[in-house]
Amino acid sequence: MLPRPGSVCARFFRLYHETRMGFRETATRPLYRFYENRLLATLDRDRLPRHIGVIHDGHRRYARSEGLPDYQASYRVGMAKFVEFLNWSDELEIPAITCWLLSKENLARPDEELVPYYEVLMELFEEIPNATTEHDVGVRFIGSLDLLPADLQAAAKRLEERMPNGDRRVTIALAYGGRQEIVDAVKDLVAELCAEGTEDVEDRIDADGIASHLYTADLPDPDLVIRTSGEARLSGFLLWQSAYAEYAFVDVYWPAFRYVDFLRSLRDFTRRTRRYGK
């Protein structure tokens, strides 16, 4: 049982964890820097993905494995890693990333897990503009945001308004479900056809029509989908768009995801021969 967030015990464990992580980082950083530089030197930049999808999995298991005081502590570590990841992607000139920070199914979790996560997400949305000032990034949200608390919806809207456009596109999926996205796309397509007075509507419902009404219709389909925590499944993430994507299932939990893990995923992607179902 994890200590209650904000308690004296929780604060003590957080300080202990941060100190331990600092020692670990100091001891291993030179080795990882050498490996990162080696990977960067051999990375074929011309074959990098144009669009990366990321499933940020493993926060709760990370909290338990690291002896953190509460799940909120691991959420904060994970969202700090999210900001790092934005900068890594920008430095490598990845044009678009789509990050799944909350699934629609996650909304069934108990309030004692969701409320602390909502608080961390709101902190993240306030921090992103300050943390990406050196990069030209536009942010938008997809998913059933109307199911979220009003203050979280407002924080997401403020972020979109502060960062509406950019050479790099960051899409954040909240209360998102891949099946729901396809349902919404079909509904929108049918409504459009009916409004046009189209006859034989069923004959006009095709793959191109559905694709044009997806949440990410203005983005290229993801070339690479990364999932952390060792789980080898998509769980409904970008179901339609990722039909021909390549996948990287990384063993580490998201809060422990390192630049070297990202570079290895990109290296493996550049070495693959994509067949697009052929």
The per-residue b/e assignment along 118-151, b for 16 or more CB within 10 angstroms, e otherwise, is bbbbbebbeebeebbeeeebebbbbbeeeebeee
Q: Which residue of the set 37, 44, 46, 57 is catalytic? A: 57
pLDDT at 204 exceeding the cut of 90: no
C-alpha distance from residue 252 to each of 171, 182, 230, 235 (Å): 23, 30, 7, 18
Q: Average per-residue pLDDT in the chain?
A: 90
Residue 192, pLDDT score: 93
Residues in the chain: 278
**For this structure, is 106 an active site residue?**
yes
Residue 201, pLDDT score: 87
* Secondary structure class of 100 (helix, strand, coil): strand
Assess contact for 166 and 137: CB atoms under 8 A: yes
**Domain topology for 8-176+215-270:** Undecaprenyl pyrophosphate synthetase (3.40.1180)
Cβ partners under 8 Å of residue 278, min gap 6: none
**For this structure, is 57 an active site residue?**
yes
Residue 31, pLDDT score: 78
What pLDDT digit, counting tens, does each position of 145-155 carry? 999 999 999 99
Q: Which residue of the set 87, 106, 188, 261 is catalytic? A: 106
What pLDDT digit, counting tens, does each position of 184-201 carry? 999 999 999 999 987 888
- The pTM of this model reads 0.87
Q: How confident is the model at residue 13 (pLDDT cuts 50, 70, 90)?
A: very low
What pLDDT digit, counting tens, does each position of 212-266 carry? 999 999 999 999 999 999 999 999 999 999 999 999 999 999 999 999 999 999 9
What pLDDT digit, counting tens, does each position of 73-118 carry? 999 999 999 999 999 999 999 999 999 999 999 999 999 999 999 9
C-alpha distance from residue 10 to each of 2, 70, 143, 220, 226 (Å): 8, 7, 33, 43, 31
Measured between alpha carbons, how far is 254 from 58 in angstroms, rounded to an integer?
Answer: 6
Q: What percent of the chain has pLDDT over 70?
A: 90
Q: What residue segments make up the domains of the chain, in order of their start?
A: 8-176+215-270
pLDDT at 21 exceeding the cut of 70: no
Residue 177, pLDDT score: 98
Residue 99, pLDDT score: 98
